[in-house]
């Protein structure tokens, strides 16, 4: 009886956390979809964008879907444990199992296609630079996106400061974005060349490579929690069936 109560408490706490995480992801997904200045806003400014890149615009829908599933899963886990509902516990187990299988499949895909990330970013580089030359300083959405990206990654342009050379911003103001210079000075072409700030493309590739291990460790931890949740759900399911 004591063991059963402990399992219920563990299920309630874990699934309560899952429910909160799902609600947070759902909120982020809604924000991405409605915020015109969000991370994906720059896609609208790239002409003839590759089909793979265009699919990134669906990330908002994906986040909303994941958020809804996690919230529902957390709710079923909490209620199933408290009420000892076999139907809820079984539904919770099935959802966790489906997610676990999808995560394993996704991990395999990432391992197979990880070496292609650099090649993919190189292929879209020309289109991205064209969008900078056409709209940086002219489009608020794209300008805000690049200013934020350069500030966060401490980089300048996609490849380097020359990406901005033909942009409306440089043409009109005869200076480059302040992120392209090391000091808070009038960022002229000479100052940008002297600063020699790395482009966001190599910074992004390095960021992905450096964090691959962290992502893998987190994924393993999540899988371990999911396996434990499935085991506990089945134990409570069997106990509820004997009453």
* pLDDT at residue 234, rounded to an integer: 84
DSSP string, 37-77: TSGGGGGGG-TT--HHHHGGGGHHHHHHHHHHHHHHHHHHH
Q: Which fold has domain 116-202?
A: Cd81 Antigen, Extracellular Domain; Chain: A (1.10.1450)
Q: What pLDDT sits at residue 164?
A: 92
- Confidence tier at 156 by pLDDT (50, 70, 90): very high
Higher pLDDT, 162 or 5: 162
Q: What is the pLDDT of residue 70?
A: 81
From the number of C-beta atoms within 10 Å of its C-beta (0-12, 13-18, 19+), residue 202 rates as middle
pLDDT in tens, 98-108: 888 877 777 77
**Long-range Cβ contact pairs of 138-144 (< 8 A, separation 24 or more):** 138/167, 138/168, 138/169, 139/45, 140/37, 141/36, 141/37, 141/41, 141/42, 141/44, 141/45, 142/41, 142/42, 142/45, 143/169, 144/37
217-239: average pLDDT: 80
CA distances, 108 to each of 111, 114, 141, 164 (Å): 5, 10, 35, 38
Pick 225 or 200 by higher pLDDT: 200
**CATH 1.10.1450.10 spans which residues of the chain?**
116-202
Instruction: Quick: pLDDT tens for 182-195.
Output: 876 788 888 888 88
Residue 29 phi/psi, 5° resolution?
Answer: -60, -45
Residues 6+ apart with CB under 8 A from 28: 63, 67
pLDDT at residue number 117 = 60
Quick one: average pLDDT of 116-138?
A: 77
Of the candidates 191, 167, 187, 243, the residue with the CA atom closest to the CA atom of residue 1: 243
Q: What is the pLDDT of residue 3?
A: 66
**pLDDT value of residue 184:** 63
Token pair for 194: 């002297």
The 10s digit of each residue's pLDDT in 60-84 is 677 788 788 888 888 888 888 777 7
Rounded-to-integer distance, Cα 223 and Cα 98, Å: 12
Look over the chain and give the mean of its residue pLDDT values, rounded to a whole number: 77
- 12-63: pLDDT as tens digits: 887 888 788 788 878 877 876 665 444 455 555 555 555 544 455 566 677 7
Does the pLDDT of residue 176 top 90, yes or no? yes
Highest mean pLDDT among 54-63, 192-201, 206-215, 216-225: 192-201
């Amino acid at each position: 009886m004591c063991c059963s109560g402990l399992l219920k408490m563990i299920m309630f706490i874990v699934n309560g956390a899952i429910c909160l995480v799902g609600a947070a992801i759902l909120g982020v997904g809604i924000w991405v979809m409605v915020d015109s200045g969000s991370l994906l806003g720059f896609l609208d400014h790239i002409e003839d964008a590759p089909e793979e890149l265009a699919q990134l615009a669906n990330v908002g829908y994906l986040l909303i879907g994941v958020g809804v599933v996690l919230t529902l899963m957390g709710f079923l886990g909490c209620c199933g444990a408290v009420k000892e509902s076999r139907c809820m516990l079984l539904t919770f187990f099935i959802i966790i199992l489906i997610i676990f299988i999808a995560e394993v499949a996704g991990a395999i895909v990432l391992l197979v296609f990880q070496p292609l990330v650099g090649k993919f970013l190189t292929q879209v580089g020309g289109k991205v630079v064209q969008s900078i030359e056409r709209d940086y300083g002219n489009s608020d959405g794209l300008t805000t996106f690049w200013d934020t990206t350069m500030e966060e990654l401490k980089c300048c342009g996609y490849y380097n400061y020359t990406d901005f050379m033909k942009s409306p911003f440089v043409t009109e103001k005869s200076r480059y974005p302040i992120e392209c210079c090391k000091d808070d000075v009038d960022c002229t072409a000479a100052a940008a060349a002297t600063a020699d700030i790395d482009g966001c493309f190599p910074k992004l590739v390095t960021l992905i490579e450096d964090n691959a291990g962290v992502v893998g460790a987190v994924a393993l931890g999540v899988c371990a929690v999911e396996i434990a949740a499935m085991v506990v759900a089945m134990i409570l399911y069997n106990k509820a069936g004997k009453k």
